[in-house]
Structure 1
Amino acid sequence: MTVFSDYLPATLVLVIVAIMVDLVIGDPRSLPHPVVVIGRAISVLETRWNQGSDKQRRRSGVMLTATIVLATFASAWLVLRLLSALHPWLGIVAEVWLLATTLAIKGLADAGRAIAVPLAKGDLPAARQALSMIVGRDTQGLDEAGITRGAVETVAENTVDGITAPLFFALIGGAPLALAYKAVNTLDSMVGYRNQRYADFGYASAKLDDTANWVPARLTALCLWLAGLMMSVPRAYDLHWKGALRGTWRDAPRHPSPNAGWPEAMVARLLGVQLGGTNYYEGVASCRATLGKPLEPLRVAHIDATIRLMHGGWMLFMLLSAVLMVALSLFPPRFL
């Protein structure tokens, strides 16, 4: 009981400090990043194991997923234990740094602004180039609405992958579990495709990623709605929060991803715009369902509004988590 009540506040403090570190320095390229190491390991094993029949590939994919996720968790746990044994502060500093590497608050906001700034100046080529750095779709020839849609969709979707989901797992299991989540996310981004090469080999990775993001995606949509409600009170933004919950519930399942549709649909509803539709990848059209209603045309101001919603969403996510964790530490359930 005592261990449980002591663990929750300590973890909460470490996560808050990690958020502050990410907001200040982001992801400096001069420092080693765990996700880079994870990605290299996936690449090496994929080359060796993605062979044979469809059945063999699917079995090898399960082995890849288990190996990478468990190895990531075990490595982080072991490093933290060793450093803590040398000195408690070494363990604390290392855990804060590892937690910070799982977050992309500053990076996501900066990426959005890198698109919005040239777009606001009418520099479409520079805005398209900035967008091409964070999306896989073709950006040549996109107008202001197309560039804005790409930026808004990316910021909305990655609010889960890059912020709230890592926070969710960090609050449950500290840096080891947060890094294990990032391993799942990296696996999905590298091998979780429905093409000839990865349909079977990446099946387990894709399904585990869907499972890991199921709760965070829906909690994030709720927190985005609450953020939209709070932003609308002083009328700083004319957000369409009334009916956004019902609209998101109806729109989100239409997205190809079982999770990405929730933050995207909520942002679309709050902004009063329509997301989704047709994208082009190497000249090939890819059509998907639309989200939201086009109450107003997409324009550069919607990128800034989405970034503010992102910040409001993760802050409320942390606030609600803090209240829950403090309550659990003061009144721990008997079965814990």
Structure 2
Amino acid sequence: MTAEPLSLTLLALVAVAIVLDLLIGDPRGLPHPVVGMGRMIAWLERAWNRGSSRARQCKGAIMTLLVVMGVYLLAWGLLTGLAWLHPLLSLVAEIGLLASTLAIKGLQDAAREVARPLASGDLPAARLALGRIVGRDTAMLDEGEITRGAVETVAENSVDGVTAPLFWALLGGAPLALAYKAVNTLDSMVGYRNERYGDFGWASARLDDAANWVPARLTALAMWLAAFTLPGAGTRGALAATWREAPRHASPNSGWPEAMMANLMGVQVGGTNHYAGVASHRATLGRPLEVLEVRHISLSIRHLHGTWLLFIVLMALTIAVKEGLS
């Protein structure tokens, strides 16, 4: 069974899970909880996404509740059962489940897969690598646009792939962290404002916005504080600029890490993307003091690592204050 929320025990479990993720990431061939969540969501969507607009909204909300609560209860039941057999079994399982919610190594490796061919001038390979991690068209992108796509991906996913799972893990252990991943998976599968998902996925999209609201803003703060330890980071004015610019983003949360990273690196992200040949215009964030080039991908990875480290420090301080008051 999971430890007390915001406790030193839980912080220690999370720290071990981070090390595990950094060492092995998501090993291929092993079952991953998100895959199971995806199959459950896909099955329910095919069965329930029909009827009137109101009916699809109701069924989508019920699906969201069932998936999130089901994942939480399944994880809690597993850990409780293992603890009954032997506490060490539950401990090891919780660390493994916590590690499965993190994507530090996966995000870093995906960005490097784009940077490696880009650095050698192999634009087709870089476009192909970027296409694996973004939904936009990549076939005609130049170095600057490829770099922008990679930097935006690292910045945005620093929340839902790293700090948000850490945030919810420290509040409720592996069950709550996995419930968050269920929310995130729901949003990525049905949370689109289009004809098919606009009604059915509205609850999933709104719940994802709510689940990321606090972590996104804490992430921007942690990224800014961590940048003081990184040489060359443009910390001056970055906090105020991010405060102004983040609300311009279409997402209530993604603009915070993207604007902060752009301002710290002195580059501009956002602009026009194409999806299946259709242009989509997004607000620009940051200032183009430097031209986007491949080295900025490596810089974004450095900011990623600084962010999660500082985020853990902030959470540890919160736990220390809580322990001191109790």
Please, what TM-score do these two structures have when normalized by structure 1?
A: 0.95
- Structure 2 contact 25–104 (Cα < 8 Å) conserved: yes
- For residue 72 of structure 1, what is the amino acid of its counterpart? V
Q: Which residue of 1 is the match for residue 325 of structure 2?
A: 331
Q: What aligned pairs does 1:105-144 form with structure 2 within 5 A after superposition?
A: 105-144=104-143
4+ runs of 1 displaced by more than 6 Å? 3-7
Q: How much is the aligned-residue C-alpha RMSD, in angstroms? A: 1.3
- Structure 1 contact 273–298 (Cα < 8 Å) conserved: yes
- Structure 1 contact 227–316 (Cα < 8 Å) conserved: yes
> Shift of residue 327 of structure 1?
2.7
Q: Which residue of 2 is the match for residue 178 of structure 1?
A: 177
Q: Which residue of 1 is the match for residue 164 of structure 2?
A: 165
> Shift of residue 330 of structure 1?
3.3
Matched, 1:307 2:301: yes
Give distance in 1, aligned partners of 2:224 and 2:9: 29
- For residue 41 of structure 1, what is the amino acid of its counterpart? M
> Shift of residue 262 of structure 1?
0.2
- Structure 1 contact 5–330 (Cα < 8 Å) conserved: no
Change (3 A) 1:277 1:6: closer
> Shift of residue 331 of structure 1?
2.5
Q: Which residue of 2 is the match for residue 254 of structure 1?
A: 248
Q: Which residue of 2 is the match for residue 154 of structure 1?
A: 153
> Shift of residue 227 of structure 1?
1.5
> Shift of residue 293 of structure 1?
0.9
Q: Return 5+ residue gaps in structure 1 as ranges.
A: 233-237
Match 1:293 to one of 280, 284, 287 = 287
- For residue 168 of structure 1, what is the amino acid of its counterpart? F
- Structure 2 contact 71–179 (Cα < 8 Å) conserved: yes
- Structure 1 contact 6–329 (Cα < 8 Å) conserved: no
SS in 1 for 2:230: helix
Q: Return 5+ residue gaps in structure 2 as ranges.
A: none
SS in 2 for 1:295: coil
Q: Which residue of 2 is the match for residue 42 of structure 1?
A: 41
- For residue 131 of structure 1, what is the amino acid of its counterpart? L
Give distance in 1, aligned partners of 2:129 and 2:5: 45
Identity fraction in percent? 62
- For residue 143 of structure 1, what is the amino acid of its counterpart? D
- Cα offsets for 1:262-284 (capped at 9, x unmatched): 00000110111110000011111
Change (3 A) 1:74 1:225: same
SS in 2 for 1:230: coil
Give distance in 1, aligned partners of 2:292 and 2:237: 20
Q: Which residue of 2 is the match for residue 281 of structure 1?
A: 275
The count of residues paired between Structure 1 and Structure 2 equals 325
- For residue 88 of structure 1, what is the amino acid of its counterpart? P
Give distance in 1, aligned partners of 2:5 and 2:257: 33
- For residue 194 of structure 2, what is the amino acid of its counterpart? N
Give distance in 2, aligned partners of 1:55 and 1:138: 33
- For residue 331 of structure 1, what is the amino acid of its counterpart? L
Give distance in 2, aligned partners of 1:254 and 1:331: 39
> Shift of residue 192 of structure 1?
0.1
- Structure 1 contact 239–271 (Cα < 8 Å) conserved: yes
